Structure 1
């Protein structure tokens, strides 16, 4: 997926000579968390809105160059890596440089997320469920094997949570009989953390629990 057409230049890169008061006013007009900064045509990093609010208004950006955050992506960076860079740097704007370190513009978070929504994982009809297993015990090859052995096709899967040495993997498959697949995952030692009307196992447990409660209350 070529992202070059999504490079934006609506806001010009700021300079060391810009006054802090000017940048503060610019942030008042924008929804960006950061703004890129250059010096003599060289990209130096990004200044965050949180930092700029704490600086003396009559000084220049050059006086606070230590506060610049040096994150960036290249114009040939894969889109999933771009998304990762957004998350790792807690930003909604990412400066884009070419291989010669020339500043080209920036990516905006919502534009890149919109691309993610167009992938088959979100755009195609299917069944989504969440499985859980130990971090060292699960494998994507096993997950694929379980799904395909039930004559279903995987549309996408990703690790959506890791906590207490347990990993949760969100899975989407083509529309198919999900109950058989869920039972197969249980046989392989996976917990199913999402709820499904087709899950006969959970339905039977609930029915038995209600029966036991009724019996104990006689």
Structure 2
């Protein structure tokens, strides 16, 4: 899945020759706080609404280009790269360019969030299992073997570094069974640390809280 497959163009671009007054009108009309700006050589950067509000209305955007965010993604880059860029910057959209720096459109945070949910198989039936593992002990092969020994399969998996424990990772597993008691017992037998579960025999709140934390981690 590459960036160009999620391209959108509903929000128009601004030109370096446009004034702050024009930019403020665009922000209001399109309910956004970032707008791409282009110039004679293609994409220049993202103008943020706060920067525009702090300038005189008759000033041309060329005078503010040092304040632009320089975030962008090449059209052929994988969406994992887009996710990383969104995580590192406070973005509502990510401009897409070609190899010649021509502006093509953007990826919206909503579209990327939906695609992330597709990757995580959020809509698929099944149970969720949340583990904490030492990085040196993490083996998706072993985890898969444990699950498959209970006649189940992993639908999706996410590995998240723990900021408060640099030597550990959190692993969120979506499994194609709604009843996970046998799988949980097997993981406990192998001395895995289970943070939370969500399946039909377990109260939902623990996993809901963890999933909410994961979405906050994604920052979208």
Secondary structure of the corresponding residue to residue 196 of structure 2: coil
1: CA distance between counterparts of 2:19 and 2:102? 24
Are 1:21 and 2:29 counterparts?
no
Aligned length: 199
More RCO (CA 8 Å, sep 6+):
2
State the Cα distance separating 1:65 from its structure 2 match.
1.0
State the Cα distance separating 1:198 from its structure 2 match.
4.1
Question: Structure 2 matches for 1:1-218, cutoff 5 A?
Answer: 1=1, 4=4, 6-119=6-119, 121-160=121-160, 162-165=162-165, 166-175=168-177, 177-195=179-197, 198=201
Secondary structure of the corresponding residue to residue 11 of structure 2: coil
Which ranges in structure 2 are unaligned for 5 or more consecutive residues? 203-220
CA contact (8 A) 1:132 1:193 kept: yes
CA contact (8 A) 2:120 2:157 kept: no
Q: CA RMSD in A?
A: 2.3
State the Cα distance separating 1:158 from its structure 2 match.
0.5
Secondary structure of the corresponding residue to residue 145 of structure 1: helix
Structure 1 or 2, whichever has the larger Rg, is 1
State the Cα distance separating 1:123 from its structure 2 match.
2.7
Which ranges in structure 1 are unaligned for 5 or more consecutive residues? 200-218
CA contact (8 A) 2:127 2:179 kept: no
CA contact (8 A) 1:33 1:93 kept: no
2: CA distance between counterparts of 1:31 and 1:88? 22
2: CA distance between counterparts of 1:132 and 1:143? 12
CA contact (8 A) 1:98 1:104 kept: yes
The CA deviation string for residues 52-73 of structure 1, in whole angstroms up to 9 with x for no partner, is 2222323121111111111111
2: CA distance between counterparts of 1:146 and 1:53? 56
Q: 1:88 to 1:162 in 2, by over 3 A?
A: same
1: CA distance between counterparts of 2:70 and 2:2? 24
The CA deviation string for residues 51-94 of structure 1, in whole angstroms up to 9 with x for no partner, is 22222323121111111111111222222322222222221211
State the Cα distance separating 1:125 from its structure 2 match.
0.8
State the Cα distance separating 1:97 from its structure 2 match.
1.0
The CA deviation string for residues 102-133 of structure 1, in whole angstroms up to 9 with x for no partner, is 21111222123223334472232111121112
The CA deviation string for residues 126-169 of structure 1, in whole angstroms up to 9 with x for no partner, is 11121112333323233222212222100011124614323221
